[in-house]
Amino acid sequence: MTDLTKLACAAVTGALIATGAIADGHAQSWDMPMAYAATNFHSEQGVIFADKVREYTDGAIDITVHPGGSLFGGGDIKRAIQTGQVPIGERFMSAHANEAPLLGWDNLPFIATSYDDNAKLWEAARDTVNAQLADLNLVALYTCPWPGQGFYFAKEVASSADTQGVKFRSYNSATATFAEELGMIPVQIEAAELSQALATGVASAFISSGSTGYDRKVWEHLTHYYKVNAWLPRNYVMVNSQTWDGLDADIQAAVQRAADETAASCAAKSAELADFYFDELAKNGMTVQDAGPEFLAELEAIGAKMTAEWLETAGPDGQAILDAYNAN
């Protein structure tokens, strides 16, 4: 399909969804693309969310989850929802910071490094982020944090002297900048393609949680994980604005109830699994340890620079988020 045809289809789909099913008493079927592995907790929670929506709407909305980027690749999910090709889907929020810098609020190094602080930061950011998403024709139903982010390497790393020229898999523009500051060569790759990238030597290092290393069995290619806990980025489940506005208020309330409950259970699951992932990496032969003092000091210096750069691009709204966070 050309882009134009896709957009035309999207408009038709959007209109059908907006006026349709609930009003005349038929169920709506929603396909929900998700970017990460079917066995990842984000995807499993997405299925729980879908079950709750079916229950709380008395079957009026029937969501089918498509994990692992199988329906749309991670990089295409937001646009598919914005244009109404699908009504709902899930994606990594800070992957969209290149288009809307505010959406990098959760990718600021060493600002909120525990689940509690990450929740506080989200509280501080939520209204501004939702307003930004409305401009993109999206409504966020719930967000869910990944465990803290650390570095994977194929060798011991004590400082940036060891990272020069290393090919680094990034997942958004901020992590590409981070890599460059460490003298590495970034290449953006979806989690779904990560194993292949490591196997073929396209990348031999990346930053992520223990979760993605576990999902992708990275011990087959890499040897060291350095816990840094630099930030806990979030995925979000979003709906096309017209789709949302076309729902009756009681259906909206039922879907939001399912979303609020899933937000809580998903964050709890993430926290519960964080150490399990580290144990699994170690069990499979990786050296899992805290980043050493020299490396950590370098990361902190780079982090401060990245936060300053984010504030420049996100403007007063970004500063307001950090001020609100620091005031609490």
Interface contacts to ligand PCA, rule CB under 6 A = 92, 146, 171, 191, 208-209, 211-212, 233
Residue nearest ligand PCA, Cβ-based: 209
Residue 268: partners with Cβ closer than 8 Å, 6 or more residues away: none
Helix axes 41-56, 249-283, angle to 10 degrees: 160
Q: What sign for the dihedral angle of Cα 220, 221, 223, 227?
A: negative
**What's the rounded Cα separation, in Å, for the pair 127 and 93?**
15
Supply angle C-alpha 113, 117, 123, rounded to 5.
Answer: 135
Q: Say if residue 36 is exposed, middle or buried (CB neighbours under 10 Å; 0-12, 13-18, 19+).
A: buried
Which CB, 84 or 148, lies closer to ligand PCA?
148
Give me the least distance between CB of 252 and ligand PCA, in Å please. Answer: 29
Nearer to ligand PCA, 135 or 220 (CB): 220
How many residues in total does the chain contain? 328
Nearer to ligand PCA, 87 or 147 (CB): 147
Residue 13 or 212: the one with the smaller Cβ distance to ligand PCA is 212
Shortest separation between residue 218's beta carbon and ligand PCA, angstroms: 10
Q: Which is nearer to ligand PCA, 18 or 286 (CB)?
A: 286
Q: Which single residue is written with the structure tokens 């816990």?
A: 227
Assess contact for 290 and 151: CB atoms under 8 A: no
* Maximum Cα–Cα distance across the chain: 65
- Closest Cα to residue 220, out of 154, 168, 150? 154
CA atoms of 125 and 325, how far apart (whole Å): 8
Least Å distance between CB 264 and ligand PCA? Answer: 20
Q: How far does the chain reach from its first CA to its final CA, in angstroms?
A: 50
Residue 146 CB, shortest distance to ligand PCA, in Å, is 4
67 or 233: whose CB is closer to ligand PCA?
233
Least separation, in Å, of the C-beta of 206 and ligand PCA? Answer: 7
| Distance from C-alpha of 143 to C-alpha of 123, rounded to nearest angstrom | 11
Please say which residue, 63 or 228, places its beta carbon nearer to ligand PCA: 228
CB of 149 to ligand PCA, least distance (A): 6
Instruction: Round to whole Å and give the CA distance between 246 and 213.
Output: 40
**CB of 268 or CB of 320, closer to ligand PCA:** 268
Count CA within 13 A, CB hemisphere, residue 203. 26
Question: Least distance (Å) from ligand PCA to the CB of residue 92?
Answer: 5
Residue from 73, 75, 72 nearest 85 by CA: 72
Shortest CB 164 distance to ligand PCA, Å:
23
